[in-house]
């Protein structure tokens, strides 16, 4: 594709330097788009305040005062469209139910990389996906099946991993040889609790009884900072002894943990516990396996399709009244059983089965097979 014919991309998501799933996925796709010759501008809905800045040579427009930047994003778009000498594609990577209003109808074309983290497509998400100027892209096989069930034409491109997600090692073991269960999930939301903190912590508490050599490592905000759950109190309520829990350093967590350090944490962990109420993709599950660590997930939404080595636990339906669709509740005794089987495995070993599975999601491979033909169709 010649550079003169490359569609221009205006990308709407978290800032690509943000250590979030949306941030890291933005970064890996945008780098490959730019290398291929696509002019880029970025509309940050999180991670950039005030004035236009730069990220690796591309302009980043700041977030607005409204939570999803509806107060400013359309003017950003109009200004970029005036400059564009090639087709301009507005590309979204975010929850689709937040994209509301009539101003979207004035955009030339929209690629929407959409998470479906419920049993099916929620009504508010479907309203977005069927817009005439929106081209939906499912990020999971589950999402693709859910869209197909509703008769929604779409593409499928999964999230992907850069090469630095690989087995790595600490110079000194920070966990003192213990059996380490790691939960790296974001602590946001209370009702419903999409990350199922209560069920996961209660299961660990019951599993850890009479075991002095186990440790729960929580790579998350310990208090929820007003938007999540007070995990310190929840740990007490679940009956987990303080000596069996370790939080990430909260200052370092807010400043940003590098992917390389996170890869070492995953590698040292004996199992990743992420049996949640619903996932549009579930990136940490894939990252952990790329580092050789087996995983525990719920038998629901996109989670089972991402297990190359690990355990898929039983669930029961849970209504999410805000979306009029179904989440799940992971069954505590099923999580306990999975933790027990993980505990019986050899300690601190790399699962080659998990590493091999994750290779199917290599960023270069996914971009060539998914993004290139999609972008070419707009040329």
Examine the domain organization and report whether 156 and 210 are in the same domain: no
**What is d(CA 281, CA 345) in angstroms, rounded to the nearest whole number?**
27
Q: What is the CATH number of the domain that holds 120?
A: 3.40.50.11930
Give tens-digit pLDDT for 313-336.
999 999 999 999 999 999 999 999
Task: Give yes or no: residues 372 and 348 share one domain.
Answer: no
pLDDT in tens, 14-65: 999 998 999 999 999 999 999 999 999 999 999 998 899 999 999 999 999 9
Same-domain check for residues 190 and 104:
no
Does residue 166 fall inside a structural domain?
Answer: no
* Rounded Cα–Cα distance for residues 211 and 261 (Å): 28
Do 336 and 370 belong together in one domain? no
197/184 Cα distance (integer angstroms): 11
Average pLDDT, the chain: 95
Domain co-membership, 195 together with 250: yes
In a domain, 169, yes or no: no
> For residues 379 and 367, what is the distance between their CA atoms, to the nearest angstrom?
17
Helix and strand totals (H; E) in the chain? 13, 16
pLDDT tens for 135-189 read: 999 999 999 999 999 999 999 999 999 999 999 999 899 999 999 999 999 999 8
pLDDT confidence of residue 5: 64
pLDDT digits (tens, 9 = 90+) for 86-138: 789 999 999 999 999 999 999 989 999 999 999 999 999 999 999 999 999 99
337 in the same domain as 234: yes
CA distance 350 to 168: 10
Is residue 174 domain-resident? no
Is residue 2 scored above 50 in pLDDT?
Answer: no
Helices (H), the chain: 21-36, 73-83, 123-129, 141-149, 197-208, 231-238, 250-255, 259-268, 283-290, 332-343, 352-358, 363-366, 372-376
Query: 59 and 130 share a domain?
Result: yes
Residue 38 and residue 129 in one domain = yes
Secondary structure of residue 152 in the 3-state scheme: coil
The domain containing residue 263 runs over which residues? 179-360
């Amino acid at each position: 594709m010649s550079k003169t014919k490359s569609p221009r991309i205006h990308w709407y998501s978290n800032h690509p330097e943000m250590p979030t799933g949306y941030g890291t996925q933005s970064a890996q796709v945008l780098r490959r788009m730019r290398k291929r010759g696509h002019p880029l501008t970025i509309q940050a809905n999180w991670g950039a305040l005030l004035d236009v800045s730069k990220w690796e040579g591309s302009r980043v427009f700041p977030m607005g005062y409204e939570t999803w930047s509806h107060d400013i994003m359309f003017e950003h778009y109009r200004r970029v469209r005036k400059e564009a000498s090639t087709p301009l594609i507005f590309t979204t990577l975010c929850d689709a139910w937040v994209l509301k209003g009539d101003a979207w109808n004035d955009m030339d074309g929209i690629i929407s990389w959409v998470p479906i983290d419920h049993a099916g497509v929620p009504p508010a998400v479907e309203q977005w996906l069927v817009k005439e100027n929106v081209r939906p892209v499912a990020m999971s096989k589950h999402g693709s099946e859910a869209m197909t069930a509703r008769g929604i034409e779409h593409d499928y491109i999964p999230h992907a991993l850069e090469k630095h997600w690989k087995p790595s090692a600490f110079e000194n073991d920070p966990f003192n040889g213990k059996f380490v269960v790691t939960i790296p999930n974001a602590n946001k939301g209370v009702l419903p609790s999409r990350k199922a903190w209560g069920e996961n912590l209660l299961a660990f508490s019951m599993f850890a009884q009479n075991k002095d050599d186990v440790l729960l490592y929580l790579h998350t905000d310990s208090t929820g900072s007003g938007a999540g759950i007070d995990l310190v109190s929840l740990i007490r309520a679940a009956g987990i002894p303080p000596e069996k829990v370790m939080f990430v350093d909260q200052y370092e967590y807010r400043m940003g943990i590098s992917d390389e350090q996170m890869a070492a944490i995953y590698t040292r962990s004996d199992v990743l516990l992420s049996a949640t109420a619903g996932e549009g993709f579930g990136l940490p599950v894939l990252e952990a396996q790329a580092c050789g660590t087996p995983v525990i997930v719920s038998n629901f939404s996109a989670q089972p399709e991402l297990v190359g080595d690990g355990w898929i636990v039983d669930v029961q339906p849970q209504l999410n009244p805000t979306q009029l669709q179904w989440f799940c509740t992971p069954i505590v005794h099923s999580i306990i059983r999975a933790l027990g089987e993980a505990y019986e495995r050899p300690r601190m070993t790399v699962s080659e089965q998990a590493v091999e599975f994750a290779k199917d999601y290599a960023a270069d491979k996914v971009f060539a097979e998914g993004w290139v033909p999609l972008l070419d169709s707009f040329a």
